[in-house]
Structure 1
Amino acid sequence: MKKKLTDLCDIQYGYAFDSKLFTNDEGYIPLIRIRDVQRGFSETYYSGKYPVEYVVHPGDLLVGMDGEFNISRWKDRDALLNQRVCKITAKNGTSEEYIRFALSKALKEIEQRTSFVTVKHLSAKELNRLVLDIPCYSSQVHIVGLCSSLERIIEKRKKQLQILDELIKARFVEMFGDPADISRKDKVELSEICEKITDGEHGSVARVPNGHPFLNAKQILKNGRIDWDTITYVGDEDHQRIYKRCNPVEGDILLTTTGTIGNVAIMPKAEEVSMDRGITLIKIDRQKVTSEFVAELLKQPSIQTEMGVNVHASAIGHLFMNRVKKLPAILPSMESQAEFTAFVRQVDKSKSVA
């Protein structure tokens, strides 16, 4: 049976709280913004008066309406429902967990339909007219049980992969220390160990159903993988123009420098791709460094801080190429880098079978 979302649940849209009253003082009530939905906590607080009907409680179901349309349970203490975030409350006879799973799928489909848009917005009108498949209540509960089991397996797998990533980070520090340590004698700038540092297309590019793959920053994931499933395509003329200046090949480093700053991936063996300016292409000098070494170097906390990744409130929306070129780097021996690279590749094999 198909029913409108509004027949299955109540939707409360957030309030436009006065940004002049936003504060970092934890003594005030937290304010839920778009970036807080998935992570489940906020570092922004509100010092003014507020309507009590906009207070969100732990466990409430929230949807972010800009960027990635995340849906998640609120995990922190009572907080305020800010604009562009909405709260979903199931009506009698509907499992709210079923809504969470079903709506997650529906929102992903909407997101993919708007894949050509730089900044995606989910309108209240679109959400209100959304239709979901809804079985009887007992079937809802059964489906929720299956989906919850799969969710737990996925989370366990993510934790396993995170442990392996931490192992690589620990090995890097053990072998090379902190690359931002000012007392180091082997300290250089990133540009000194690279042949070329450039970025992708700055202008708007028309997408086509079939053509050349075109990467954007959102497809470079935090875990170092590239999300090929959401790739879009550009025509031959646009591709050739972009690729002439920015031609990623196997072993090149891709660094996100717009939106989510600091995600790093090593370009795999793949067909020719072009990309937008949200990704900076780093062509290393392979006589001096290995891809695995530079990729892990860029993931180090001190280097991420240099990029502005840990700056509060996303003060840096774009990491400019000149700043990338001047990032701190080190130049250890190729023998030690080769040892580290072999270790990384062995761990990567463990990831595929873990």
Structure 2
Amino acid sequence: MKDWKTVRLNEIAESVDYGVTTSATDHPIGPKFLRITDIQNGTVNWNRVPWCKCNTCSTVNSRLNPGDIVFARTGATTGKSFLIQECPKDAIFASYLIRVRVGALAEPRYISHFFQTPNYWTQITKSARGVAQPGVNATTLKELEIPLPPLEEQKRIADILDCAEDIRAKRRAALAQLDELIQSIFIEMFGDPILNPRQWSQMNLDAVFQFQTGKLDSNAAVPSGQYPFFTCSREDFRIDTYAFDCEALLLAGNNASADYSVKHYKGKFNAYQRTYVITLQDERNSYEYAIFVLEHRLSELKRISKGTNTKYLTLELLKRIRIPVPPQTLQKEFASRVAAVEKLKNAHKASLAELDSLFVSLQYRAFRGEL
């Protein structure tokens, strides 16, 4: 590491900027408007990113380019970063994000990989400000210390880590294909639950489920907590305490653009105060069936949401939703077929866990100059 040096981010950054304060819209009236909630599990689906209306000056100053790195500066995802590798020509970023654009001395991919390391997270944790809502600011980011080798070495390290990440991504893609297989089985057995082609009897949600909510703020998450912590984000979080010990569906109760999600979990967990914890009244029905039928109602939930800047769901709205309830024997058959696919998924997950462990080791060596 004789050619390496430790620098502060402001020494290698061309700019560190806050985003634009404006409202998102589903109508294409201006540039794409990237928000914290659009960054999920290290990816952005630009087709789902909304637009916004803003003046020309804001558009120019906040335009995103490949190579930019954006940071969540507040909330449960404080400090999480995302490297823009591709984006629409006209795309800007929201005020709860900070954009870092590195200069000629740094390779963006190398810097982005550093922002995933324990070294980075230790610095962020120490500097995060606030109690009720911890956050970081541009000044905090500028002071981050980064181990910096010569530019060509940065590129070599980034290539190695990119290759390792690509292998992990392929394993995650295999898992996604198995999820698609389960969806195909569902349609084969029950048909589209919106159209209800089998003419199953229909019931209101409150006749099928019991509803509770969590009690915690979204920033209660702990990075390496013992239990799952379900918020209104699609991303998974952890926490050190649990309030529930059961099988349940977890429905996001609010979302900036009403893009809700529903998850299934069995065991000890905790939940954000706007997350609905949903349990079956009759356990002879199937959670495996229930989650898919609710997922098919998410577009309806988006349509009937209340609120302006942040959309939300009330219990009264949920109670009015009707779903088909097929025979319990058919639900159980579906659950059995799902269990068979889940065995395959578990094998892939075990392999992915090994790859994740190897990646952490590789990452550790990379930033110590040992690759």
Q: TM-score range by the shorter chain?
A: 0.7 to 0.9
Deviation at 1:99, TM superposition (A): 0.8
| Change in 2 beyond 3 A, CA 1:177/1:108 | farther
Cα distance, 1:212–1:121 mapped onto 2, change above 3 Å: closer
SS, match of residue 50 in structure 1? helix
TM-score, length-scaled by structure 2: 0.73
Shift of 1:89: 2.8
- The correspondence for 2:202, drawn from 167, 181, 187, is 187
CA distance 1:64–1:335, change in 2 (3 Å)? same
Q: Which residue of the partner structure matches residue 151 of structure 2?
A: 137
**Alignment pair present for 1:338 and 2:352:** no
| Residue deviations 1:216-273 (CA, integer Å, cap 9, x gap) | 416x746xxx54xx3233xxxxx7xxx5xxx441x32222223486333333344xx4
State the match for 1:49 in structure 2: 56
Where does residue 72 of structure 1 map in the other structure? Answer: 83
Q: How many equivalent pairs are there?
A: 329
CA distance in structure 2 between the aligned counterparts of 1:207 and 1:154, rounded to whole angstroms: 25
> What is the SS of the residue equivalent to 1:308?
helix
Matched, 1:305 2:299: yes
Alignment of 1:1-354 (within 5 A): 1-14=5-18, 16=20, 19=22, 26=28, 28-36=30-38, 38-39=43-44, 41=46, 42-46=49-53, 48-50=55-57, 54=61, 56=63, 58-66=65-73, 67=75, 68=77, 69-73=80-84, 74-105=86-117, 119-181=133-195, 184-194=199-209, 196-201=210-215, 215-217=229-231, 221=234, 227=237, 230-233=238-241, 243=243, 247-249=244-246, 251-259=247-255, 262-270=260-268, 273-300=269-296, 303-308=297-302, 316-354=310-348
Q: 1:163 to 1:338 in 2, by over 3 A?
A: same
Shift of the 261–279 alpha-carbon distance from structure 1 to 2, 3 Å rule, reads farther
Distance 2:174 2:137 in 1: 37
User: 1:95, 1:137 within 8 Å by CA — same for their partners in 2?
Assistant: yes
Distance in 2, matches of 1:75 and 1:108, equals 26
> Which stretches in structure 2 are left out of the alignment for 5+ residues?
349-371
For structure 1, which runs of at least 5 residues remain unmatched after alignment? 234-238
TM-score (norm 1): 0.76
CA distance in 2, matches of 1:255, 1:115: 30
Deviates more, 1:90-99 or 1:251-260: 251-260
Deviation at 1:58, TM superposition (A): 4.2
Deviation at 1:324, TM superposition (A): 2.8
Q: CA deviation at 1:85?
A: 3.5
- Structure 1 pair 107–187 and aligned structure 2 pair: CA distance change class (3 A): farther
Take 2:339 and 2:154, find their aligned partners in 1: how far apart are those partners? 43
Secondary structure of 1:94's counterpart equals coil
Inter-partner Cα distance in structure 2 for 1:211 and 1:100: 24
Q: Distance in 2 between matches of 1:87 and 1:217?
A: 25
Give the fraction of aligned pairs with identical amino acids, expressed as a percent: 18
Report the alpha carbon displacement of residue 102 of structure 1 after superposing the two structures with TM: 0.9
Deviates more, 1:133-142 or 1:198-207: 198-207
Q: Distance in 2 between matches of 1:103 and 1:52?
A: 27
CA contact (8 A) 2:19 2:95 kept: yes
RMSD between superposed Cα atoms in Å? 3.9
Answer whether contact 1:266 1:291 (CA < 8 A) is retained. Answer: yes
Contact 2:31–2:91 under 8 Å retained in 1: yes
Deviations 1:303-333 (A, max 9, x none): 0112228979986533223333333222111
Structure 1's 198 and 101: CA in aligned 2 closer, same or farther, altered over 3 A?
Answer: same
Residue identity in the other structure for 1:328: R
Over 3 Å counting, the alpha-carbon distance change for 1:94 and 1:312 in structure 2 is: farther
The CA deviation string for residues 69-123 of structure 1, in whole angstroms up to 9 with x for no partner, is 3322142113345534443333333222101111243665567676996655331
Helix, strand or coil at the partner of 1:267: strand
Q: Distance in 1 between matches of 2:103 and 2:334?
A: 55
Q: Tell me which residue corresponds to 2:359.
A: none
Provide, for residues 101-152 of structure 1, a one-character-per-residue CA deviation record: whole Å limited to 9, x for no partner: 1124366556767699665533112111111222333432232122101221
The one-letter amino acid of 1:268's match is K
Q: Secondary structure at the residue paired with 1:252? A: strand
Contact 2:69 2:112 in 1 (8 A): no
Amino acid of the structure 1 residue aligned with 2:55: G
